[in-house]
Amino acid sequence: GAVVSQHPSWVICKSGTSVKIECRSLDFQATTMFWYRQFPKQSLMLMATSNEGSKATYEQGVEKDKFLINHASLTLSTLTVTSAHPEDSSFYICSAPGGGLADFYEQYFGPGTRLTVT
């Protein structure tokens, strides 16, 4: 099946710094990628939809100037958490829909990135 990778798998940063998380589709092209945030014992919360070659679509309540998304190519989307605060500490997961018609309905998830802001 399709593989999505994320880098880094975990990161610790100081409050006020910025952190970039990469999401790559390894064996298929993804014109759309989704970024989720998951707090402990809670479900996935969609943050934004990343579109290759155009601006990302952010969910209500998600600050687009704080969570910068860049979908630079058909295999790479990046999420940058700017001026990170301890409350941004979370598990960030990206996903991409499958490439073929039969796979369209399935989301392929990256392994996630655990961000801890101290």
Partner 1 sequence: GQNIDQPTEMTATEGAIVQINCTYQTSGFNGLFWYQQHAGEAPTFLSYNVLDGLEEKGRFSSFLSRSKGYSYLLLKELQMKDSASYLCAAQDSNYQLIWGAGTKLIIKP
Query: Where along the sequence are the contacts to partner 1 (CB under 8 A)?
Result: 34, 42-46, 49, 91, 93, 97, 104-112, 114
CA distance 34 to 36: 7
Q: Which is nearer to partner 1, 40 or 86 (CB)?
A: 40
Rounded to whole angstroms, the Cα distance separating 23 from 33 reads 8
Shortest Å distance, C-beta 71 to partner 1: 17
Residue closer to partner 1 by CB (options 76, 103) is 103
Distance in Å, CB of 106 to partner 1, minimum? 6
Q: How far apart are CB 32 and partner 1 at their closest, in Å?
A: 9
Q: How far is the CB of 66 from partner 1 (least distance, A)?
A: 22
Question: What 3-state class would DSSP assign to 87?
Answer: helix
> Strand runs (DSSP E) across 1-118, as ranges?
4-7, 10-13, 19-25, 32-38, 45-51, 57-58, 67-73, 76-81, 90-97, 107-109, 113-117
Q: Is the CB of 82 or the CB of 112 nearer to partner 1?
A: 112
